[in-house]
Structure 1
Amino acid sequence: MRLGQTSVIHFTSRFFASLLGFVATIFIARFLGSGTLGTYYLVLSTVSWLGIAVEMGVPSAINKRVSEDEDEAAYAIAGGVIAFCLFLVVSVLILLFRHHINDYIGYPAAQIVVLFLFVNLIQSSVNSILNGQHLVHISGIFNPIRTGTRSIVQISAILLGLKITGLFIGYTAGYALVSVLGLWIAVRNFPSVSLPTLEHYRRIISYAEYSWLGEIRSRAFNWVDVAVLGFFVSSSLVGIYTAAWNIAVFLILFGGSLSQTLFPEMSSLSAEEDAQSVADLFETALTYGGLILIPGLVGGTLLGERLLRIYGEEFTQGTVVLSVLIVATLIQGYQRQFTTTLDAIDRPDVSFRVNAVFIGANVILNVSLIPPFEVVGAAAATAASVAISLVVAYFSLSSLIEFSVPLGEIGKQWTAAAVMGVVVYTGLWLESAHISVGNNLVVVITLVGFGAAVYFGTLFAISSYFRTTVDQNLPIDFPTV
């Protein structure tokens, strides 16, 4: 029950964070246009890729070692020292090659990239410590705080006429605030504080030498397409693509919250050599990995054009892109559960190979498909590469632990999503043929809300497993559920 409630708290926090970011992105798109939005996301893409060299898997190693409940503070300090040294090296290289970076982005942003790398590193390291301390719900709550602060500062700065500079200020403010708050909480939760020895550094590095590719894999899923698009299409098309992507990532939030919640628990069980309990948790993760993604695919396909119209008419060019990206996030939702489990059972070497397959396929497919098909090719490349890695991940994990795929429960989720799709399609037909509302935002909010109610109501009716899960995780008891 505790794990379910933690997942819901973490998901709810990330949902509201994404909602705030969504609103801010709409504001930016409408006030500054797709060109400025594209430039801003090229900066973030650059930061994301360079961040790999700064982190090198260290935050993941901190999470793993702290979750083992031994010498937590020493491992956190060791990881922080290693990451800061890497940051200094990368920062010097960025400043030396700043002209190349500025030319790629189309804006003098090299110093901004260094600043963003620093606040990202602090926030990532702090989150890893909190997650390792089994405080996933706390790190989750920081998401809306960070995004809310960033959005408020960005919108205020734009209204003051600061344009893209205001976007940079807001981003920095949001990350800096949660870093300070998170570090304060993490330090207070250490049972004792001791300085690291060489053995602590060695164990951080031994895990990070494999987990760093997981960082690349995460970046690749989010940013390879944007990075390659920057070479072949206009910043306006990049802005349209990232608008579609922002909608798609809404749907992957619950799966991410689930994997982050279960990782420290799986890690502890693995350290105790309790393989069956790890398998049980993994099967639970598979059961609910598509809980939001499956109806999201159906609803997003039906409402895609209307969702993108919220950003502005020019963004409706990304309707097909949105549907393909939602397929990619659905596959990614399941694939992430496999790699999380591999990391939790202390097999980052196997996870390394799975991630290598994804990264190689993603880069090759993006470079091959973007020149002829532009943004649609980028979306297709992401979906195809994550599908390939899912197959590899399945066979890799099945060779290490015994598990079964809960096809029955996943099938019930698809059934409920189909019922929801019929209802949403009927609503769209009625609005266009008989009831002209006239306000696109009202139509979208109404159909999304009603569709969600139909989906969960139907799933609640047809799945006893889902009813039991809901009953066990409600804050109050109901006599008959």
Structure 2
Amino acid sequence: MNISKSSVKLFGAQIATNAVSFVAMAFFARELGSEQMGVFFLFQAVSSVLVTASDIGIVTAMEKRISGGQDAGSVVSSAVALMLGLVAFVAFGIVLFRGPLNDYIGASLALWLIAAIALTQVKRVVMAWLRGDLRVGDTADIQLLSSLIQMGTSVVLILLGVDVMALVLGVLVGSALSSAWALFRERPPVGKPNPRDAVSLFNYAKYNFIPSVGIEVHNWMDVLVIGLFLTQSAVGAYEIAWRVAGVTTLLASAIGMSVLPQTSAWDARSETGRIERLVSSSIVPSLFLIIPSVFGAVLLSREILGVVFGEGFAVASLALIVLVAGKIPEAIQLLVGKCLLGLDKPNLVARATVVALVLNLVLNVALVTQFGLIGAAFATTLSFTAGMLLRVRYLTEFITLQLPYWKLAWCVLASLVMSVVIVVVRAQVPITTVPRLLAVVAVGAVVYGAVVMLYPPLRSLLLGYVSNLVPRPAA
């Protein structure tokens, strides 16, 4: 599997997905307001955590076992059999506690969680099989299709006068149709569930359960705590800031998804040197978009939230700066964590996750009650940093990790030059409309890219990634 090619294909799909999502979210925010957006985000937060709870790490275990050479048909069937019971158990809990769930979310949406969980798990199984089969790039089409259907359905329903339910139905329709298309096109292998494979999956998942749940809870912890102590409007503003910040990790996420199965395959052949080179060479691409984004957030956070989504969302502008800065340790944590999972060390990832998760919970409760949204952002950033440091420490016990200091320093220099240009342009052109904001961002991106390309090692690295976008003629 070509890591850069798979990463670039995923990155391209994620760029398209996030471009559509960004425009759609701006439309939703202006049409529904921060309170109804907050209701939807709480629905998503609860759904995401329960999806992971109904998985207990089995999907990642399935990916690991298939990439390690086990029979795909038996592994897929055994994984599905295990997950069916878990989904049924979670569904029973939702029915039992639907009253408190409805009160927390702010609308009668609890029973819709069951459909969201079931449909999401079908898609996750197909995606995990493709990644385990070292076909990471093929998951890009499924991701893009799901997002397009989801956003398109929601937009149509809102234009027809439907409120927050339009967003919920969009999620369900997007997952259902994209899963049906993926099952028809890819036709995952189906065999007879094997007790030996089920035990193998469970033995891996029992350690991976904690990091799997931890990642989702970590991602949604601040929203869950804000929903408990503040208002749905605060949830809406903060989650929009989180999603804007999340755009900066698109490339890091694509690289991480490609690293796990490839690391697993090389580890099965004891090719440690190739794993070391892979991880070290992936650090700069993982941080390439995040470093300039930190500088851009400092200068433009209020304009991004207020102009694009509405002035009611600008209350999260300081939180946006902190969240973007927190994407640096998050990106490294993602890369290193996926490598540890590929090395069959889910127990070490679990340890780091427990520490970061407890820290995240304690800091969120303490800081949200005292400082509001900025407190939540600091809590999340600090806990990501702790999780990243622990994962790096564990990984260096197995491989030598070399940091590309000069390449990273040049990215920082390019970001500083970009910042100066943005300050000068903004002084001449007040940012009061979306086109003006996009123009300023485009100027900054061009300047950053131009300065980066002046450094030959970075230029060579980036051109290597870009070359994978161009199809090569058949011999």
User: In which range does the TM-score fall when normalised by the shorter chain?
Assistant: over 0.9
Structure-2 separation of matches of 1:360 and 1:166: 35
- Asked whether 1:464 is paired with 2:454, we answer no
Change in Cα spacing, 1:95 to 1:477, as seen in structure 2 (3 Å) is closer
Structure-1 separation of matches of 2:84 and 2:119: 11
Q: How does 1:264-275 map to 2 (within 5 A)?
A: 264-275=261-272
Residues 311-353 of structure 1: per-residue CA shift (max 9 Å, x gap): 0011111110100110111210111111111101011111111
Change in Cα spacing, 1:426 to 1:55, as seen in structure 2 (3 Å) is same
2:375 aligns to what? Answer: 377
Q: Give the unaligned 5+ runs of structure 2.
A: none
* Counterpart amino acid of residue 95 in structure 1: V
- Asked whether 1:250 is paired with 2:239, we answer no
Q: Report percent identity of matched pairs.
A: 25
Maintained 8 Å contact 1:132/1:264: yes
Shift of 1:221: 3.0
Query: Which of residues 447, 450, 458 is equivalent to 2:443?
Result: 450
* Counterpart amino acid of residue 345 in structure 2: R
* Counterpart amino acid of residue 449 in structure 1: A
Q: How does 1:43-442 map to 2 (within 5 A)?
A: 43-187=43-187, 190=189, 193-309=190-306, 310-432=308-430, 439-442=432-435
TM-score (norm 1): 0.94
SS in 1 for 2:243: helix
* Counterpart amino acid of residue 358 in structure 1: A
TM-score (norm 2): 0.95
1:435 aligns to what? Answer: none
Change in Cα spacing, 1:426 to 1:273, as seen in structure 2 (3 Å) is same
Structure-2 separation of matches of 1:294 and 1:426: 20
SS in 2 for 1:421: helix
Shift of 1:235: 0.7
Residues 175-198 of structure 1: per-residue CA shift (max 9 Å, x gap): 11221222234426x5xx532321
Structure-1 separation of matches of 2:178 and 2:401: 38
SS in 2 for 1:404: coil
Maintained 8 Å contact 2:59/2:128: yes
Shift of 1:414: 1.2
SS in 2 for 1:405: coil
SS in 2 for 1:55: coil
Structure-1 separation of matches of 2:349 and 2:167: 36
Shift of 1:220: 2.6
Maintained 8 Å contact 2:8/2:466: no
Shift of 1:465: 4.1
Moved more, 34-43 or 196-205: 196-205
Shift of 1:468: 4.5
SS in 2 for 1:252: helix
Change in Cα spacing, 1:265 to 1:68, as seen in structure 2 (3 Å) is same
SS in 2 for 1:251: helix
Structure-1 separation of matches of 2:109 and 2:471: 54
- Asked whether 1:24 is paired with 2:52, we answer no
Residues 267-323 of structure 1: per-residue CA shift (max 9 Å, x gap): 100011111111111111212220111111111221111110110011111110100
Shift of 1:211: 0.9
Q: Give the unaligned 5+ runs of structure 1.
A: 433-437
Shift of 1:464: 2.1
Maintained 8 Å contact 2:38/2:232: yes
* Counterpart amino acid of residue 257 in structure 1: A
SS in 2 for 1:208: helix
Shift of 1:473: 4.6
Residues 104-150 of structure 1: per-residue CA shift (max 9 Å, x gap): 11211111111111111111121111111122112122222111111
Moved more, 394-403 or 230-239: 394-403
Shift of 1:403: 2.0
Q: How does 1:1-12 map to 2 (within 5 A)?
A: 2-12=2-12
Moved over 3 A (4+): 475-478
Maintained 8 Å contact 1:471/1:477: no
Moved more, 290-299 or 193-202: 193-202
Structure-2 separation of matches of 1:469 and 1:105: 44
Structure-1 separation of matches of 2:461 and 2:286: 17
SS in 1 for 2:360: helix
